[in-house]
């Protein structure tokens, strides 16, 4: 890259960061892009030192102290004033705070144009036990950079002289280069991208979740509208999945997509089934670049005699053409213009890491993550899959105001049976 790049105090958002701004403009009160990390900690924690370390962390990471500015039909990052060491960035509460109050705190919407885009909360139970919560606007963090974020919390706390290896100016220059890189890709491959997506989405694609929804509106309102269920398949089944995947030439994740689409077809009878899934933009994976993730829709076409091999060939062809056209670099707000039915975005199938991530503060001898305050679900139903060494894990997150929990639990059991039945049949027909 050009090392003489001209760096400015105002610097443009990348096309993937713009997605979050446009979503926020449509609904400034939305909270499903509030990403929450929440731990219970036991041991000794120096609260003043933690506050000062978090100030240093925010001051030394460019996007952590930036806001978005709309100017001359373009979106720019603009820097906030650096925090003084006297600033209380860590909100400290006593141990008698209620779960309802905590939920209200983390559910406070971020104003992307004015607010600090990361918040920290500490509950002090005064018996060597704490609850440490971080709330981050999705525009500055994604799944690829989250672990680096948590590692940095510990590095800054454990070492008072620790500093970011990159200066603010270096981060700004790197961000501008990345933005230009994405702009060049879109300019050079835009025609191929549009051709790919129009050919993929030229038919009406339906993802009918009505079989999971309440027949009448759910009048019993929960404090949280997001619920989840978790389950896993042990090694004997996972080995079958891996064996079948290798034989078919795809990954277990893609095979799971195929089988889940088949299940939706069996239930709905729709000939064009659609799912959406996130795809990481690896060039922007470092923490300094903020969120670089796109949402991709995929279509599965069915008929009465569609076999698993037909579906696998559809998946292989899709990903081959996606790579050739560089279609993943077209932001979802552009892709969605070619969707005849946006219901495909109601359900997402995600490959993820469900393992717990720790923060290693010196003096803390025991910790565990809390999951009861997660509010980051921007679809109706999200299925998350993780492959470990000996099992296949799933977490299903859903909007409990729309999805009927009892029906979903029944479908989970049915899906477990359906998931593996075809793996032992040489001529599986999707419509059986």
What is the C-alpha separation between 137 and 118, in angstroms, rounded? 6
- Under 8 Å between Cβ of 201 and 340: yes
Predicted confidence at residue 293, as pLDDT, reads 92
Predicted confidence at residue 218, as pLDDT, reads 55
Sign for the CA dihedral angle at 124, 141, 353, 385 comes to positive
What is the C-alpha separation between 123 and 130, in angstroms, rounded? 5
What is the C-alpha separation between 301 and 303, in angstroms, rounded? 7
Q: pLDDT tens digit string along 64-112?
A: 999 999 999 999 999 999 999 999 999 999 989 998 899 899 989 999 9
- Under 8 Å between Cβ of 23 and 119: no
What is the C-alpha separation between 256 and 352, in angstroms, rounded? 13
What is the C-alpha separation between 220 and 269, in angstroms, rounded? 31
Predicted confidence at residue 30, as pLDDT, reads 84
Predicted confidence at residue 70, as pLDDT, reads 95
Provide CB contacts within 8 A for 38, sequence distance 6+. Answer: 131, 132, 133, 134, 369, 370, 371, 372, 373, 374
Predicted confidence at residue 122, as pLDDT, reads 98
Predicted confidence at residue 126, as pLDDT, reads 82
Predicted confidence at residue 144, as pLDDT, reads 80
- Under 8 Å between Cβ of 56 and 90: no
Provide CB contacts within 8 A for 413, sequence distance 6+. Answer: none
Provide CB contacts within 8 A for 79, sequence distance 6+. Answer: 9, 62, 65, 66, 168
Predicted confidence at residue 2, as pLDDT, reads 40
What are the structural domains of the chain?
11-174 (3.30.559.10), 191-424 (3.30.559.30)
List, for the chain, all residue ranges whose pLDDT scores fall below the cut of 50. Answer: 1-7, 215, 354, 424-432
pTM (predicted TM-score): 0.86
- Under 8 Å between Cβ of 415 and 392: no
What is the C-alpha separation between 193 and 366, in angstroms, rounded? 49
What is the C-alpha separation between 74 and 62, in angstroms, rounded? 20
What is the C-alpha separation between 278 and 182, in angstroms, rounded? 18
């Amino acid at each position: 890259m050009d090392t003489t790049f001209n760096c400015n105090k105002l610097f443009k958002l990348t096309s993937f960061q713009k997605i979050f701004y446009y979503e926020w403009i449509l609904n400034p009160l939305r909270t499903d892009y509030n990403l929450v990390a929440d731990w219970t900690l036991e041991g000794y924690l120096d609260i003043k030192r933690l506050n000062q370390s978090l100030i240093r962390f925010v001051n030394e990471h460019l996007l952590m102290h930036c806001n978005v500015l709309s100017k001359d039909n373009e979106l720019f990052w603009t820097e906030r004033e650096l925090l003084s060491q006297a600033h209380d960035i860590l909100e400290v509460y006593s141990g008698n705070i209620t779960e309802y109050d905590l939920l209200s705190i983390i559910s406070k919407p971020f104003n992307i144009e004015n607010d600090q885009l990361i918040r920290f909360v500490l509950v002090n139970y005064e018996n060597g036990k704490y609850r440490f919560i971080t709330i981050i606007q999705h525009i500055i963090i994604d799944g690829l950079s989250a672990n680096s974020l948590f590692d940095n919390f510990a590095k800054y706390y454990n070492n008072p002289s620790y500093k970011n290896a990159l200066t603010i100016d270096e981060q700004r220059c790197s961000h501008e280069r990345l933005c230009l890189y994405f702009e060049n890709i879109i300019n050079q491959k835009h025609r191929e991208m549009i051709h790919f997506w129009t050919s993929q989405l030229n038919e009406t694609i339906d993802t009918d979740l009505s079989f999971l929804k309440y027949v009448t509106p759910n009048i019993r309102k929960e404090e949280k509208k997001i619920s989840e269920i978790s389950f896993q398949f042990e090694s004997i089944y996972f080995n079958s999945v891996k064996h079948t995947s290798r034989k078919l030439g795809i990954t277990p994740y893609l095979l799971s997509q195929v089988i889940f689409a088949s299940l939706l077809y069996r239930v709905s009878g729709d000939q064009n089934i659609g799912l959406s899934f996130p795809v990481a933009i690896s060039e922007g994976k470092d923490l300094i670049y903020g969120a670089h993730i796109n949402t991709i829709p995929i279509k599965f076409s069915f008929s009465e005699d569609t076999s698993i091999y037909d579906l696998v060939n559809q998946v292989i062809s899709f990903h081959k053409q996606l790579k050739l056209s560089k279609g993943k670099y077209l932001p979802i707000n552009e892709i969605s213009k070619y969707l005849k039915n946006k219901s495909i975005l109601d359900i997402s199938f995600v490959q993820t890491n469900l393992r717990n991530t720790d923060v290693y503060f010196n003096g803390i001898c025991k910790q565990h993550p809390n999951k009861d305050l997660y509010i980051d679900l921007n679809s109706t139903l999200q299925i998350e899959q993780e492959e470990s060494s000996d099992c296949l894990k799933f977490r299903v997150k859903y909007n409990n105001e729309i999805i009927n929990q009892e029906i979903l639990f029944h479908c989970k059991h049915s899906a477990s049976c359906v998931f593996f039945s075809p793996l032992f049949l040489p001529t599986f027909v999707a419509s059986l």
